[in-house]
């Protein structure tokens, strides 16, 4: 906990300097007020230990996000860090919330929602933040970074709580520190994308299914419905958590399964249609994005079955080549600041390696809790709808939950196997990069 406190205090001090700079240089006080609002809310709701974790990571993510944005995003209408969609979403926030009149705000929201009906909740979320910022001073990209940073820090807090329920406090803190600083959660907080909030909703749904509570079926359905407002496909996947609930309350009978399948048929049909649509869009997008002689294009040309496996694997070792995002400065998404992502991606591969190795060990596989088995199935299902992006972004909502499975697998392995997995994971990535540069 000491490391988290130190990081929180240091980040808060540096963040205060950034807030003063934004006020003096740009006349913006809304980022500071947003931060203070979330800060005070945390103080009122949580106990001391949870306050420290949430506020510390909130301060760190906010500092990191604003720093990156200040340096790389001179104009949020044309510049972006990591994700091109940030430009589109920032423009949407301007269109919807660029007013101090609530009636006009709702009219703008209704107009945009006709065009972007499948992101109804995200439109409102963006517009509302923009509307509030415009009342204070002006809509700006920094308030969106603050909001995303808070959402990311709540995800880390939930991970800590779940770890605390299954491991000792020392282990829970150790992994919270690792995942809090070196997972894809801090990577996506400076970006204006809906995946950060969807990841939080996935974690909440998973947390609800772990322990029997009152109305837990209704809670999962409600979370799925809320998620669908941000991305319909993700909401449909969350309904998969109901399988675990039915199993636990002894409703896992053939009749219930049959009825459930019949009831869910329209939903599954919708998911299938969206999956095919996503397949076609991403396939065209990938073909346009990749050089005809590039590795991505070659993977897409593989036979069906092998192609999906290759593309999913390739997406999980991104960025590749590993250091390409650092020196290819002709690309807007390339930057020395993405060195952070290089470290995170390597740790991500190691965490996946713990899971993959454990699946090949019968004695470990037999001990795997049902919720983790379900998580794996849902992850594969989720990845199936995002395999043509060649990026972590679409799959990111499942990552926080998958990290929990990786930690469980880690403690089922002896120290020798852990070291070997880490060594061969790093060696494998280095070897792939060398081979790539040799045959390029």
On whether the CB atoms of residues 146 and 67 are closer than 8 A, the answer is no
pLDDT at residue 292 in the model: 44
pLDDT at residue 318 in the model: 74
188 belongs to a structural domain: no
Is 396 found in the same domain as 310?
yes
80 belongs to a structural domain: yes
DSSP code at position 253: -
How many separate helices (H) and strands (E) can be counted in the chain?
22, 0
For 349, the enclosing helix (H) or strand (E) is helix 339-359
Chain centre distance of CA 38? 20
Is 290 found in the same domain as 147?
no
Is 208 found in the same domain as 155?
no
Domain closes at, from 159, 181, 203: 181
Is 372 found in the same domain as 345?
yes
One-character DSSP codes across 88-115: HHHHHHHHHH--S-HHHHHHHHHHHHHH
CA gap 415, 411 in Å, rounded = 9
Is 63 found in the same domain as 26?
yes
pLDDT at residue 293 in the model: 43
Domain closes at, from 155, 181, 207: 181
Is 20 found in the same domain as 59?
yes
Is 101 found in the same domain as 149?
yes
pLDDT at residue 267 in the model: 54
pLDDT at residue 289 in the model: 44
Is 390 found in the same domain as 257?
yes
What pTM was computed for the model?
A: 0.86
Q: What angle do CA 319, 279, 194 make, to 5 degrees?
A: 60
pLDDT at residue 291 in the model: 47
Written as six digits, the tokens of 197 are 């909030």
CA gap 47, 42 in Å, rounded = 9
The angle that helices 141-166 and 195-210 make with each other, rounded to 10 degrees, is 20
What residues make up the domain containing 76? 2-181
Chain centre distance of CA 389? 15
Is 10 found in the same domain as 148?
yes
Those residues with Cβ within 8 angstroms of residue 419's Cβ, 6 or more apart along the chain or in another chain: none
259-275 exposure pattern, b = at least 16 Cβ within 10 A, e = fewer: eeeeeeeeeeeebeebb
Is 94 found in the same domain as 22?
yes
pLDDT at residue 407 in the model: 92
pLDDT at residue 152 in the model: 93
Domain closes at, from 157, 181, 205: 181
Longest dimension (CA), the chain: 67
Mean pLDDT in consecutive groups of 10 residues from the start of the chain, 440 residues: 82 91 90 93 83 92 90 72 77 86 88 81 91 90 93 94 90 92 87 89 88 79 90 82 72 52 54 52 47 57 69 75 60 62 88 90 84 77 63 78 88 91 89 79
302 belongs to a structural domain: yes
Which region holds residue 250: left if phi is over 0, alpha if psi is between -120 and 50, else beta?
Answer: left
Which region holds residue 79: left if phi is over 0, alpha if psi is between -120 and 50, else beta?
Answer: beta
Number of domains in the chain: 2
Is 225 found in the same domain as 177?
no
Is 215 found in the same domain as 111?
no
pLDDT at residue 8 in the model: 85
Those residues with Cβ within 8 angstroms of residue 318's Cβ, 6 or more apart along the chain or in another chain: 345, 390, 391, 392
CA gap 176, 158 in Å, rounded = 10
189 belongs to a structural domain: no
158 belongs to a structural domain: yes
pLDDT at residue 373 in the model: 79
């Amino acid at each position: 906990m000491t490391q988290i406190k130190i990081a929180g205090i240091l980040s808060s001090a540096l963040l205060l300097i950034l807030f003063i700079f934004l006020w003096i240089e740009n006349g913006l006080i809304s980022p500071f007020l947003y931060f203070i609002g979330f800060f005070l809310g945390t103080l009122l709701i949580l106990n001391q230990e949870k306050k420290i974790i949430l506020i510390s990571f909130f301060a760190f993510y906010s500092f990191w996000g604003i720093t990156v944005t200040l340096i790389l995003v001179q104009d949020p209408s044309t510049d972006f860090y990591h994700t091109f969609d940030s430009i589109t979403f920032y423009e949407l926030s301007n269109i919807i919330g660029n007013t101090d009149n609530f009636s006009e705000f709702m009219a703008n929201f209704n107009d945009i929602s006709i065009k972007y009906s499948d992101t109804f909740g995200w439109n409102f979320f963006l517009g509302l933040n923009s509307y509030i910022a415009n009342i204070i001073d002006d809509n700006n990209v920094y308030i969106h970074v603050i909001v995303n940073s808070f959402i990311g820090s709540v995800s880390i807090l939930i991970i800590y709580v779940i770890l605390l329920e299954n491991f000792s406090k020392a282990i829970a803190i150790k992994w919270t520190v690792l995942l809090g600083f070196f997972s894809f959660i801090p990577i996506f907080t400076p970006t204006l994308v809906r995946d950060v909030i969807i990841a939080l909703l996935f974690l909440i749904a998973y947390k609800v299914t772990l322990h029997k509570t009152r109305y837990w079926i209704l809670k999962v359905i409600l979370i799925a419905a809320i998620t669908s407002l941000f991305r319909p496909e993700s909401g449909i996947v969350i309904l998969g958590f109901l399988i675990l609930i039915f199993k636990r309350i002894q409703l896992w009978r053939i009749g219930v399964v049959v009825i459930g399948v019949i009831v869910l048929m329209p939903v599954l049909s919708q998911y299938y249609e969206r999956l095919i649509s996503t397949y076609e869009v991403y396939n065209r997008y990938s073909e346009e994005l990749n050089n005809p002689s590039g590795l991505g294009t070659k993977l897409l040309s593989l036979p069906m079955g092998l192609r999906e496996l290759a593309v999913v694997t390739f997406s999980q070792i991104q960025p590749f080549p590993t250091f390409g995002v650092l020196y290819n400065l002709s690309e807007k998404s390339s930057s020395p600041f993405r060195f952070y992502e290089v470290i995170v991606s390597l740790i991500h591969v190691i965490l996946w390696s713990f899971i993959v190795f454990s699946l090949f060990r019968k004695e470990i596989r037999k001990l795997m809790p049902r919720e983790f088995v379900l998580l794996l199935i849902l992850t594969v299902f989720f990845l199936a709808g995002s395999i043509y992006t060649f990026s972590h972004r679409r799959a990111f909502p499942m990552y926080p939950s998958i990290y929990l499975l990786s930690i469980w697998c880690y403690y089922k392995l002896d120290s020798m196997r852990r070291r070997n997995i880490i060594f061969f994971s790093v060696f494998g990535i280095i070897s792939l990069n060398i081979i790539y540069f040799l045959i390029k």
